[in-house]
Structure 1
């Protein structure tokens, strides 16, 4: 974690914020004593929205019908074709 004094923090705030955006944490000190910390904000993940793909995905009427015997045998056999 980097440490800068108050004067340097005021002078180079834009550059320090760029470093924070990149994930770095920076301590601001007065007379060598830490008084504040610049750290990236944790952004919460968006909750999953049900129905987002409604009318964009189609499931066939027969999607769960049994496979033909020859294809089923290929899945069940241990040999590769």
Structure 2
């Protein structure tokens, strides 16, 4: 599975390593992803999502149901 957050859609970004001599080589910046299980009480089921740390904070603040509803409307959730 790709390194993409299933809630926010964050994915790998590309940038440069810059040395002291100002030489530039390509590198990747990966999102801080975690595989986490969530219980959805309305549907009475467990789901496993690959989420970023910012998505975890959003879920803790707003609740999994509200976040999933918003992500489904945006088209990010893959389950």
TM-score range, shorter chain: under 0.3
Q: What TM-score do you get using the length of structure 2 for normalisation?
A: 0.23
Q: What TM-score do you get using the length of structure 1 for normalisation?
A: 0.23
Greater relative CO, 1 or 2 (CA 8 Å, sep 6+): 2
Structure with greater proportional strand content: 2
